[in-house]
Amino acid sequence: MHDGSPSSQAAPPDDVTERLGYRLKRAAAALRGAMDGALRERGLTVPQYACLELLDQRPGLSNAELARGAFVTRQSMNVVLRGLQDAGLITRPATTDRGRALPAHLTEEGHRRLAAARSVVYAIDQRMTGAVPERRLADLLADLDHMAAALEG
């Protein structure tokens, strides 16, 4: 280990664009831009789509749970829910017997809009996933997970 690639305690490369953080940010920005443009034509924002997707898989999620799932604050998700509610894509009870969390559910229209949006998002996911060798995909998913866990801890 006299040159080349030092092992565990190596400092980040001098060139910013060679650092993991920069690459991560670039990929995330590209994804955000692509989804933003595609969803705009469907009349949805990225957080709105994320919210619908989460509710489809786990109906009854509360505002706070949705916020965590979409990586935004409770306050932000609150306005997102309000918008979706006004648009008639979700329903949420005004009160509840048990606790304070208000469970949200998709409406029929919500399911339709989600299905329409899903097709374009799938296409984007395909384009992105297709850019990485298939045998490396599982490792990639795992690494991203570990990175997030290491930073959240």
Interface residues toward DNA, by CB under 7 A: 36, 45-47, 62-65, 71-76, 78-81, 83, 97-102
Tokens of residue 46, six digits? 């990225």
State the Cα–Cα distance between residues 95 and 39, nearest whole angstrom: 32
Stretch that binds its own copies, among 46-54, 74-82, 95-103, 105-113 (CB under 8 A): 46-54
Q: Which is nearer to its own copies, 57 or 95 (CB)?
A: 57
Contact indicator for 47, 80 with CB cutoff of 8 Å: yes
The span from the CA of 71 to the CA of 102, in Å, is 19
Q: For residue 141, state whether it binds its own copies (rule: CB under 8 A).
A: yes
Q: Which does 140 bind (CB under 5 to 8 A by kind): its own copies, DNA, none?
A: its own copies
Q: Which does 27 bind (CB under 5 to 8 A by kind): its own copies, DNA, none?
A: its own copies
Least distance in angstroms from the C-beta of 90 to DNA? 12
Q: Is 102 exposed, middle or buried (0-12, 13-18, 19+ CB in 10 A)?
A: middle
Contacts 24+ apart (CB under 8 A), 8-13: none
- 40 lies in the site for its own copies, by CB under 8 A: no
Compute the least distance from the CB of residue 138 to DNA, in Å.
29
